Structure 1
């Protein structure tokens, strides 16, 4: 594991886009989950359905499939908690080229954008929800709704507006 203090300073300062924070939102009986990734600069959200469970290899595969859709300039790093679901992080990095950094135990505030966004997701997926019944199309609709919600921290721009600006200027 590479710890958070080794992450590039540009990620800490939100100076450069492409640094992501990730976590799982856990569902019914702590057996179901969806994965969330939030881009630190724009607060853009990607939700990844995990219909086959949260086993490390399933999480690795699902995250890699989603992140490979973005240009390399927007996939510089991922920061995650020290959960067992990311024990395949080396394979994720080998597949995607995205290094993974881990927060110290009991410090979720080190991924504040992701923690805040996961709180917003509870409006759509309350605790105890059976998450596999929500397929990728459904979680994409939720992500789109949250990505189009203006945010005070972005000067009342939406994450989608900020992310679209990045993707049009980086292509």
Structure 2
């Protein structure tokens, strides 16, 4: 019962916004949020009411689905002023509340690098090629007769070998 309760809580907390949930997972790429977040960090953000000072993940309509993770430095729900911690300029976008996917809750340093490696098509293609190579690699036919080498050695050891007699030697 506790296991299913834990699964339900995890599902509720991690259900993605793309499926109607409230959680957005973002892998940081770039230097605009240093030193707060570094490239490869996984940031978990949850829906909520953003305020000035919060780090938010937003998706401007102009970028066709790309996400940006920056800090709110001003504005309101009608249009926030956003800036990266390591940037000298304010973002050219003024996202509204409907473009903000979530407020950053916590991050896992460098976990995004592992996720990126696992989702890489090159990694998967390499694993498939390796699996196929192992599958079709030619095998030694000597071991395919069904008799184990140890059993053959045991059978030879059980045979009694008499010494050879030389007919030329007379006793």
Give me the TM-score of the superposition, normalised by structure 2.
0.25
Structure with more of its chain in strand, by fraction:
2
Report which structure shows greater RCO (CA 8 Å, sep ≥6): 1
Give me the TM-score of the superposition, normalised by structure 1.
0.25
Structure with more of its chain in helix, by fraction:
1
